Every structure is written in structure tokens, then in C-alpha cells.
Amino acid sequence: MLDTLLYIKKETDIHLEVTTLLIPGQNDSPAEIDAMTKWAVKNLGPDVPWHFSAYRPTLEWNEAPPTPLETLLQAKEIAEANGLQYVHLGNVFSR
């Protein structure tokens, strides 16, 4: 997947935005978000819009609880501290 993001950014004129579905216990640790967003700034640039989206259980997959708003807010804070300029939250209501 990372190779695809690099290809899109460096080899095409396609507008690139990235969405990360944060699933509790799977990919929502501060360390993982820190590493992910540092990679993004270094390799894609600080101006690539990044969306953190909340997971919601479904009938088909309900192995994790819903993503807490606090997790998304923390991800946004980490991403912005690492230099991402356009960080958005999805699948939640926030200010």
C-alpha cells in the first residue's frame, strides 16, 4: 500500500487524500499513529489531506468496539504535531 501512495504522489497528477480507519486494539496506538504520520510527512508531504475515520461494528465484523472520539482527537493532535496540515476526522461528530 505504501508503494501505491508513493507512486500516486510522485508519478501521477491524481489528487491524493488518505483515509485511515482506526480500529481499537488493531491500529490505534499513539506510537503507530506517530510513525504513520511521520512517514506521511517525509514521503508524501505535509499538504496531503489525511482523514482518521472511526470504526463502527457491523453484523459482518464486530470484533472491536467503536472507536472513541478521544482516540480520533489524539490521532489528529499527533498528526498535526508531526506536520500534517490538513487532518480531518470522519464517522464522528466533533467540533
CATH number at residue 62: 3.50.80
Q: Which domain holds residue 23?
A: 2-90
Can you give the chain as a three-state secondary structure string? CHHHHHHHHHHCCCCCCEEEEECCCCCCCHHHHHHHHHHHHHHCCCCCCEEEEECCCCCCCCCCCCCCHHHHHHHHHHHHHCCCCCEEEECCCCC
**Does 95 reside within a domain?**
no
For the entire predicted model, the pTM comes to 0.92
Number of domains in the chain: 1
Q: What mean pLDDT comes out for the span 39-47? A: 98
For the stretch 48-69, pLDDT in tens is 999 999 999 999 999 999 999 9
